[in-house]
Amino acid sequence: MGAGAAPQGTAQSVPSLGLTAPSAPLGWAWRLLAPADSGSTCRCKPTLPSEAVEAAQELENQMKERQGLFFDMEAYLPKKNGLYLSLVLGNVNVTLLSKQAKFAYKDEYEKFKLYLTIILILISFTCRFLLNSRVTDAAFNFLLVWYYCTLTIRESILINNGSRIKGWWVIHHYVSTFLSGVMLTWPDGLMYQKFRNQFLSFSMYQSFVQFLQYYYQSGCLYRLRALGERHTMDLTVEGFQSWMWRGLTFLLPFLFFGHFWQLFNALTLFNLARDPQCKEWQVLMCGLPFLLLFLGNFFTTLRVVHQKFHSQQRRSKKE
């Protein structure tokens, strides 16, 4: 045995850290602290035994399973209706009592969105290029009011039954309902005609993007549910969420273009409101919701992209 070697099973000195290594049974833990070379200060990489890694992975999987079970149990507990559902439906119990009923209602909601999106594309195209009548425009705006009102009611019922749609993606349907209602009451005139074609073109583009989102999000959700990474009651949304990062980032340019079109609509309406010939209160009251929709959609999407980008950077640094 060389003069500089320490006997096996005894403590070893590590000059660069000023610490003393424990005996052999704890050697794997000591390697977390000791550098590879006593004369260097290189970054240490943890090296856990395979048994510890497997145990940690198994524990993590069990925690995910328990969390899913608790979430499923919570979905079947009776809930008090929120303010909106209480105003619309009263104290009716809207909790569905089986997984089949919940999934069937969610599937019906998704089909409703798809069919109405296609109808809105066709009607907005007809009003924009084939008909120029305030009557058909009013029918289109009435359909928008009914569509968004129905969405808010159905989403509230789905939330009561375990769907995890929340935050801005719920609020923006209420804002859209208000905006469509104001557009419905806007009388025909010079200001309306100046904004009409821009609004119909925007509605056509927005419905097209919503169709793209439904088509690709539904496929992505189906795949993630099969892998156990998403809940069965998760819904497609008219925006971008963290689970869409893998495979759906190509939708981001379409979304951001639509967000800035909302800003353009708001600025156009604010400019029309300053016109001396503008007498309608609807001009300003439509500009404010468009601005609110832009701010909410843009910054919510930007926050998701920012969070995913930084999480990927942290993951790459760890590797």
Which of 157, 186, 215 is a domain's end point?
A: 186
The verdict on residue 181 lying in a domain is yes
Q: 251 and 182 in one domain?
A: no
Q: 182 and 103 in one domain?
A: yes
- In the block, residue with structure tokens 């610490």: 19
Which of 186, 213, 237 is a domain's end point?
A: 186
Closest C-alpha among 168, 144, 116 to residue 294: 168
Q: What is the pLDDT of residue 39?
A: 47
Structure tokens at 261: 């079109």
Q: What is the pLDDT of residue 201?
A: 97
- What does the alpha-carbon distance between residue 120 and residue 203 come to, in Å, rounded to a whole number? 8
Tally of domains within the chain: 2
Q: 175 and 105 in one domain?
A: yes
The verdict on residue 267 lying in a domain is yes
Q: What is the pLDDT of residue 197?
A: 96
Structure tokens at 109: 């909601």
Q: What is the pLDDT of residue 18?
A: 45
The verdict on residue 161 lying in a domain is yes
Q: What is the pLDDT of residue 249?
A: 74
- What does the alpha-carbon distance between residue 121 and residue 229 come to, in Å, rounded to a whole number? 33
The verdict on residue 303 lying in a domain is yes
The verdict on residue 1 lying in a domain is no
Q: 182 and 101 in one domain?
A: yes
The verdict on residue 196 lying in a domain is no
Q: 255 and 179 in one domain?
A: no
pLDDT digits (tens), the chain, 319 positions: 444 444 444 444 444 444 444 444 444 444 444 444 444 444 554 566 777 777 877 787 777 766 666 555 555 556 666 777 777 777 777 777 777 887 788 888 888 999 999 999 999 999 999 999 999 999 999 999 999 999 999 888 888 877 777 678 889 999 999 999 999 999 999 999 999 999 999 999 999 999 988 877 766 666 655 555 555 555 555 555 554 555 567 788 899 999 999 999 999 999 999 999 999 999 999 999 999 999 999 998 888 788 777 766 666 666 5
The verdict on residue 194 lying in a domain is no
Q: What is the pLDDT of residue 41?
A: 46
Sign of CA dihedral 147, 148, 153, 154: positive
Domain containing 285 equals: 245-319
The verdict on residue 136 lying in a domain is yes
Q: What is the pLDDT of residue 75?
A: 54
Q: What is the pLDDT of residue 224?
A: 55
Question: Is the Cβ–Cβ distance between 228 and 142 less than 8 Å?
Answer: no
Question: Is the Cβ–Cβ distance between 113 and 151 less than 8 Å?
Answer: yes
Q: 177 and 110 in one domain?
A: yes
CA atoms within 13 A on the CB side of 182: 17
Question: Is the Cβ–Cβ distance between 145 and 184 less than 8 Å?
Answer: yes
Which of 151, 166, 186 is a domain's end point?
A: 186
